[in-house]
A and B are shown apart, each in its own frame.
Chain A
Amino acid sequence: MSISIENLNKRFGDHVALNDINLEVKSGELLALLGPSGCGKTTLLRIIGGLDVADSGKLLVNGLDIAQRDARERNVGFVFQHYALFRHMTVFENVAFGLRVKPRKERPSDAEIKRRVTHLLQLVQLDWVADRFPSQLSGGQRQRIALARALAVEPKILLLDEPFGALDAKVRKELRRWLRQLHDELHITSVFVTHDQEEALEVADRVVVMNHGKVEQIGSPDEVYATPASPFVYQFIGNVNLFHSRIHSAWTEQHGDAVAYVRPHDIDISHTQQDNEALAGEIKLIRAVGAIVRAEVAVAGSDELVEIELSRERFDAEPMVNGDRVFIRPRQVRVFE
């Protein structure tokens, strides 16, 4: 199932939640909606799921406009941020819910429901908690049950709102790998919302970066990281150094008011001056952090600190200490006016 969104708008009172959104979700892909809180990503997800209604615009699934269809007719699986498990039902009944509320004609037999629920619980590796209540599960377990519940109705589209938001760091990492594997097995068109760039880059096939209700960039994780389309994307994804054209005109190759964006690992650092584009500076702090070495360099003639990352090998080839006079030079610069 492919989803296409055309000129979608949504306001809440004076607040513009979504501003002219255009977006394609390809069949079978895992797409991340990434952005800071309040950027409209959850609203967009809820509109796709039919939990909210757009003020204007089109929402097409496989070319069919479904904007007028109820959430219950959309065949969409929705996984809520706080799981929204039914607290008075066992895990088994939670997962079986979507099957039990089907119209009598379509409702599977009890034996069939049992078979399917058990299968799903095995899929999320939690068949041993079937008789427990949600309050007796850990956060990660609840998350997986919420996913199993959404999958029970065999949705054509799976929507996940901050699926790992409420979990601690270690469980997050495990679950995110697990979700990727599950998606590779099932191939359901999936959209998930996150504010965590690492999560989006690691799990998604493509990433949609949003800010203030607008789409800033759509691309593969590598594209949005390596070639950000806007200053916002540059700053939101990964660390970045800013150079103003008035000070570092050589780098920006512009004379107007422009800003150059350079990633810390895209800067060369050396004791010798390679060419006249290099800037002189002094190392304020240099420290090895695991496989990489981080340095902060004060550029001569300004009070700006430039953050630089270099590989262990590079560092070993030319060791440096605090206070060294060095020259820095960017390998890759992106200029925005």
Chain B
Amino acid sequence: MAQFRAHSVLPGFNLALGFTLLYFSLIVLIPLSALFFKTATLGWDGFVDVASSERVLASLRVTFFTSFAAAVINAFFGLIVAWVLVRYSFPGKKLVDALVDLPFALPTAVAGIVLATLYAPNGWLGQYFAAYDIKVAYTPLGIVVALTFIGLPFVVRTVQPVLADVEAEVEEAAASLGAGRLDVFRRVIFPAIYPALLTGFALAFARAIGEYGSVIFIAGNMPYISEITPLLIVAKLEQYDYAGATAIAVLMLLISFALLLSINALQWWSSRRGAR
């Protein structure tokens, strides 16, 4: 025991850690391991069969492509929003700032039905696209719209504090050395916020990969075209194909873990760079 933890006069360590580990095991660890054991019954070949089937690969392509596109859109506009919120003052700024978190607070199903309604060919926004023969809802483009909504706060919220931390003096120093405004941004500000921007991008991307609720209403869910991987799991489940659903779920879980690890690495890197 003495080896395991350092002495402290504060009580409750055994109780607190014991409860933490028990609760974690019951809620997270055991259920997640059930997933891997179930896949094991499928065998390696069975797993590969499911994972490499044409429909699964197509759904992965759709999921990755739309998630990536949404994360790129969010990285670009999120940076501008963060910039505006940190640097400028305008009426209603506090309200706008609070509203940025809406996608965290609004249930995904609500987001899904309202976006589907807005971007339907006869919807408020969809009609303008329809005029140019562009379909948004019920196509991969609709998925991008939903995922952009879901991922919107991530980039803003990771870049905002870092941008606020960039010292005015550093900018003044650069300007006093003759750098133009664009140079200052490119050479002084952007390098400082770049790791945070990348972290925000990765967070938005990771969230988009697993998203389900907001997408299914707007996606149209056409196999091979606008079917995302989480939906495919549900589809398999509804056909009582538990093994198939499990195999895809394991695949997704592995992708999620890889993303979690790279995000941790990114944050570690960005906090090291941020340290002065």
The short answer to whether A and B are in direct contact, CB under 8 Å, is: yes
- Whether A53 is near chain B, meaning CB under 8 Å from some CB there, is yes
- Whether B9 is near chain A, meaning CB under 8 Å from some CB there, is yes
- Whether A288 is near chain B, meaning CB under 8 Å from some CB there, is no
Nearest-neighbour CB distance to chain A for B276, whole angstroms, equals 23
- Whether A12 is near chain B, meaning CB under 8 Å from some CB there, is yes
Residues B205-256 near A (CB distance < 8 A)? none
Nearest-neighbour CB distance to chain A for B70, whole angstroms, equals 43
B6–A70 CB distance below 8 A: no
What CA separation (Å) do A102 and B174 show in the bound complex?
61
- Summed over the interface, the residue pairs from A and B with CB atoms below 8 Å come to a total of 8
The interface residues of chain B lying within 8 Å CB-to-CB of A53 are 7
B interface, how many residues as a size bin?
Answer: under 10
B9–A51 CB distance below 8 A: yes
Chain B, Cβ-Cβ closest to A55: B2
The interface residues of chain B lying within 8 Å CB-to-CB of A50 are 9
What CA separation (Å) do A325 and B59 show in the bound complex?
95
0/1 interface trace, chain B 5-33, chain A, CB 8 Å (1 if under): 01101000000000000000000000000
- Whether A52 is near chain B, meaning CB under 8 Å from some CB there, is yes
SS of A interface (majority): loop
The interface residues of chain A lying within 8 Å CB-to-CB of B9 are 50-52, 70-71
A interface, how many residues as a size bin?
Answer: under 10
The interface residues of chain A lying within 8 Å CB-to-CB of B6 are 12
0/1 interface trace, chain A 1-33, chain B, CB 8 Å (1 if under): 000000000001000000000000000000000
What CA separation (Å) do A50 and B6 show in the bound complex?
14
Nearest-neighbour CB distance to chain A for B193, whole angstroms, equals 32
Nearest-neighbour CB distance to chain A for B141, whole angstroms, equals 52
Chain B, Cβ-Cβ closest to A71: B9
Residues A43-80 near B (CB distance < 8 A)? 50-53, 70-71
Nearest-neighbour CB distance to chain B for A55, whole angstroms, equals 8
Nearest-neighbour CB distance to chain A for B188, whole angstroms, equals 35
What CA separation (Å) do A187 and B240 show in the bound complex?
81
Nearest-neighbour CB distance to chain A for B250, whole angstroms, equals 40
Nearest-neighbour CB distance to chain A for B195, whole angstroms, equals 32
What CA separation (Å) do A51 and B9 show in the bound complex?
5
What CA separation (Å) do A33 and B242 show in the bound complex?
69
The interface residues of chain B lying within 8 Å CB-to-CB of A71 are 9
Nearest-neighbour CB distance to chain A for B5, whole angstroms, equals 12
What CA separation (Å) do A7 and B229 show in the bound complex?
67
Chain A, Cβ-Cβ closest to B2: A55
Nearest-neighbour CB distance to chain B for A75, whole angstroms, equals 15
The interface residues of chain A lying within 8 Å CB-to-CB of B7 are 52-53
Nearest-neighbour CB distance to chain A for B105, whole angstroms, equals 28
Chain A, Cβ-Cβ closest to B3: A13
Nearest-neighbour CB distance to chain B for A180, whole angstroms, equals 30
Chain B, Cβ-Cβ closest to A10: B7
Nearest-neighbour CB distance to chain B for A286, whole angstroms, equals 45
Residues B72-119 near A (CB distance < 8 A)? none
Given pairs A50-B9, A52-B9, A53-B7, 5 additional interface contacts (CB within 8 A): A12-B6, A51-B9, A52-B7, A70-B9, A71-B9
Q: B residues within 8 Å of A by Cβ? A: 6-7, 9
Can you list 8 A-B pairs with a CB-CB distance of less than 8 A? A12-B6, A50-B9, A51-B9, A52-B7, A52-B9, A53-B7, A70-B9, A71-B9
Q: A residues within 8 Å of B by Cβ? A: 12, 50-53, 70-71
Q: Which 5 A-B pairs have the closest CB atoms?
A: A71-B9, A53-B7, A51-B9, A52-B7, A50-B9
